[in-house]
Structure 1
């Protein structure tokens, strides 16, 4: 068939090739462990990659080739990840906790391999197809076998109202295939990892909200810990304490008067933390630690931080801080380099974690 008038049947001449287009960056921040070109450096690179969360010591010969992998997604107010790791010892010491100022919860679903977890209060074994909850404001030592896991890092404030006593969950082991709610949380986490590259920023508030609600379904507060007040009152007490941390009048009397409780009842509610006064002091110390380690913390005097966290004087504050974290407040300031020096200050992962308001 002859060509129609005005149509050129020949293909257009090929012009010089243009510059290759870079693939579009994902809408959601993604961070991957990048193995070094030198296999002998793999172990050190892996330890540095995990340094924002754990001090790492590799057991046996350092890994020389993958499988060693970690991919994480920053989903607004939560961070999700999947990891394939070698045999290793992971530790969060009181000194590390003080220097970082993190107040988050880590839920890890072991999909293969196992570990031994020592929180100081409990020693537990975690097997494949089991999970463990870690309160990152408390010390822990983990001896882990080679294996893989899916993880959820979430600020305490997103889950404390849902699960009640977050502190008592530290080191709790669960079999997620045996519990429908925990199985659902694992499936949700796996779905987030699969959909991470395709999520959009407007999805993230709902994603974070759903994660906190699922945590509440998985780890409801122990009914015995709540008695004899109902769950709503129990949550309200904890909210009241958090909102009044800077007040010098916050104490047993203020709480019992506001909520109409006896001192004995109030103590039972916080028995796991050594009583309500001990709980208040710990929350104040965590607030002070965040003030010292956040950006601009170096410009605050120790006395200013003490008063801002609800302590009556600098001496009492410094003594309590040293007992809790093993170092003085001035040693935990944002301008004080960590000892031993590490890469966490410039770490992408640490920047993400700090962006999750605790």
Structure 2
């Protein structure tokens, strides 16, 4: 399933709602209340190494300060304001972001975002995706994209929020590629340089290999040699492409774990035990799958499935946070 979570503060008493919102965002930011009344409505979807949020909130400020040194975040967020006013930027240097404007935030740097009342669309993008769009990512923390420069990008984001509930999984990679292209146009309206083109080609190579891996992830004997035979990319080239992921073998392992998590979230697979699912996704056995799943996501497959089933009827903040946290790890 592509939806990660949905949260609406009106479902709770005010103090409880704020506490749950803080729990939901506990890994990503410290939340402070402002003088304005607190409210928050959030929907989120997982795309291809991209997370999309449709948000409306007020009376709060999100801050990333000391946690920047310890949480390991290394991606960018793009905040596009639809209505209201967002105050955001590097920590201590927040600026006013008006409707139609967008702001890039580097999560490896201290930052703050807040509002009395704002409607916005936020996209979390892997660092290599932003690099593919603009080449050099230095100086992008707090980069403001004007309404005219980012017009096409903003139009796509607004349309995407409307279409996400109906968007087939097979379209996710194409959507992410289009976002990268439109981000490039918004930041470099007169064309990108050679560095950007180099990273874009590297990104295309990476995506080609990734799709090949995902198509064959259920084959337990699928190997690096199969990838080099199919793509013509050398082992050294593959290592360079997937170095940030811990290598190709680690990436294959994470693809299997992500597909297992998706099936545990999908009620159509509830009749299948872990012992049945594991070999279909390339794991040697149930024990192997369970051990790796716990290492990656901090919860056993059985406990995750049980929480997911409960969440179908009564969405719990701990399950929402688990889904979000595990998805955030895919951006690093």
**Partner residue in 2 for 1:151:** 121
Distance between the aligned counterparts of 1:246 and 1:177, measured in 2? 42
TM-score normalized by the length of structure 2: 0.57
- 2:329 maps to none
Tell me the residue number matched to 1:131. Answer: 104
Say what the alpha-carbon RMSD is for the aligned residues.
5.5
Are 1:298 and 1:334, in contact at CA under 8 Å, matched by a contact in 2? Answer: no
Partner of 2:60 in structure 1?
86
Give the TM-score, by structure 1 length. 0.54
| Match of residue 17, structure 2, among 45, 63, 70 | 45
Q: Is the CA contact (8 Å cut-off) linking 1:306 and 1:312 kept in structure 2?
A: yes
Call closer, same or farther: CA 1:125–1:65 in 2, change over 3 Å.
closer
1:153, distance to aligned residue in structure 2 (A) = 6.0
Q: Per the alignment, do residues 284 and 82 of structure 1 end up closer, same or farther by CA in structure 2, a change over 3 Å counting?
A: same
- Using a 3 Å threshold, how does the CA distance of structure 1 residues 243 and 127 change in structure 2: closer, same or farther? farther
CA distance in 2, matches of 1:251, 1:202: 34
Distance 1:300 1:203 in 2: 26
- Equivalent-residue separation in structure 2 for 1:299 and 1:334 (angstroms): 13
- CA pair 269-84 structure 1, distance change in 2 beyond 3 A: same
Write the distance in 1 (CA, Å) between the matches of 2:14 and 2:250.
43
Q: 1:325 to 1:187 in 2, by over 3 A?
A: same
Q: Secondary structure at the match of 2:233?
A: coil
Alpha carbons 2:109, 2:141 under 8 Å: kept: no
Separation in structure 2 between the aligned mates of residue 222 and residue 212 of structure 1, nearest angstrom:
14
Which residue number in structure 2 is paired with residue 217 of structure 1? 182
Change in 2 beyond 3 A, CA 1:310/1:107 = farther
Structure 2 CA distance, aligned partners of 1:259 and 1:81?
40
Q: 1:81 to 1:324 in 2, by over 3 A?
A: same
| Structure 1: gaps of 5 or more residues | 1-30, 91-104, 117-123, 135-139, 354-358
Query: In structure 1, what is the equivalent of residue 86 of structure 2?
Result: 112
Asked whether the 8 Å contact 2:131–2:199 carries over to 1, the reply is no
Larger Rg computed on CA atoms: 1
Higher helix share: 2
Q: Per the alignment, in what secondary structure is the counterpart of residue 315 of structure 2? A: helix
- State the distance in 2 between where 1:45 and 1:143 align: 24
